[in-house]
Amino acid sequence: MQQLTISFIGGGNMAEALIAGLRRSGHDGANIWVSEPQQSRRDYLNASYAVQVSPDNAEVAKHADVLLLAVKPQQMKPALAGLSVELKADVTVVSIAAGISSSSLHEWLGEHVNIVRVMPNTPALVGAGMSALFSDADELHKLRAEYVLQACGVSVRVERENQMHAVTALSGSGPAYFFLMAEIMKATGVKLGLSDALASQLAAQTALGAGKMLAESDRTAEQLRHQVTSPGGTTQAAIDEMYEMGLPAAVRKGVMAASKRSEELAG
Ligand SMILES: NC(=O)c1ccc[n+]([C@@H]2O[C@H](COP(=O)([O-])OP(=O)(O)OC[C@H]3O[C@@H](n4cnc5c(N)ncnc54)[C@H](OP(=O)(O)O)[C@@H]3O)[C@@H](O)[C@H]2O)c1
């Protein structure tokens, strides 16, 4: 896999997270190409990661064994114009754009092209991403996509493309739900008399610790919660109040709304 040429169309935030992961895992910068309209951004990526850069999508696409589409969904169709003739016959096209279906990508790039659709999330920026992929293509193409994604976190597969809406609602948008929780906890800590900096640190490190326990323990979230909730204690008082105020319903409805919005955006 380390010999593959991996080309990015679009050199924004998510592309940078994946490039950083690939470089950390030892992928040679000479085998990574990035096309990006902004000169300053190209210079930055070249200086930071020793990757090849170009303003020309076709130039970058023609080298690719894996072509990673990392532009905003609304930029996708124009970014792909004229690229199909440049692609190698067995290229793996990996799209991380929310809401752009495999059938749209086939329409723009050709029916024969091997497409892998991915929903990553922003913790990829710190090497702790959660990605889910869907593909009808051969195993080789899924393995190639996983090679890229696993350089900056964990990746899983879903069996049906329409499950990508639920994935978007859970892990795609999910970091923001935890940020919201941390935001509210911090503000309340300040109200209770802590300094801004201390309350922020307590909330952030608690989120990190709870996340690590969730990811590494073989217990469920519910079991972990019960473990730290002694009857009649402080945690019990908080949880009772949160239930009373409708927190479970609010989270459930929020996640449902994200999934519905994802379906609407997909058209
Ligand atoms: N960020 C997330 O949390 C997240 C999560 C899951 C999926 N995604 C998906 O990841 C994709 C990228 O998101 P992002 O946050 O990395 O966006 P971003 O930072 O805006 O990156 C997109 C980059 O592509 C460049 N670009 C625009 N038009 C182009 C073209 N025609 N050819 C080549 N490059 C072009 C943009 O340049 P300009 O700035 O000059 O326009 C920008 O540098 C999106 O499709 C998004 O749905 C993001």
Tens digit of pLDDT for each residue in 203-215?
999 999 999 999 9
- Taking residue 89's Cβ as centre, other Cβ atoms within 10 Å add up to 7
Atom index in ligand 1 nearest the CA of residue 41 equals 43
pLDDT of residue 125: 87
| Mutation choice for ligand 1 from 33, 53, 60, 75, CB with most ligand atoms inside 8 A | 75
Domain boundary among 167, 192, 213: 167
Q: Is the pLDDT of residue 52 over 90?
A: yes
C-alpha distances in angstroms, 20 versus 56, 127, 151, 233?
22, 9, 8, 45
Protein residue with least CA distance to atom 21, ligand 1: 12
Q: Is the pLDDT of residue 267 over 80?
A: no
| Length of the chain (residues) | 267
Give yes or no: residues 152 and 179 share one domain.
no
Structure tokens at 131: 């990605």
**How confident is the model over 163-201, as pLDDT tens digits?**
999 999 999 999 999 999 999 999 999 999 999 999 999
CA distance 114 to 105: 10
Domain of 150?
A: 6-167
pTM across the whole model? 0.89
- Beta pairing partners, 94: 68, 116
**Using 50, 70 and 90 to split pLDDT, how confident is the model at 2?**
confident
**Using 50, 70 and 90 to split pLDDT, how confident is the model at 121?**
very high
Q: For position 22, which CATH number holds?
A: 3.40.50.720
pLDDT of residue 250: 97
DSSP 53-98: EES-HHHHHTT-SEEEE-S-HHHHHHHHTT-GGGS-TTPEEEE--T
For residue 99, the CA-to-ligand 1 centroid distance in Å is: 13
Give yes or no: residues 156 and 71 share one domain.
yes
Type of residue found at 264 = E
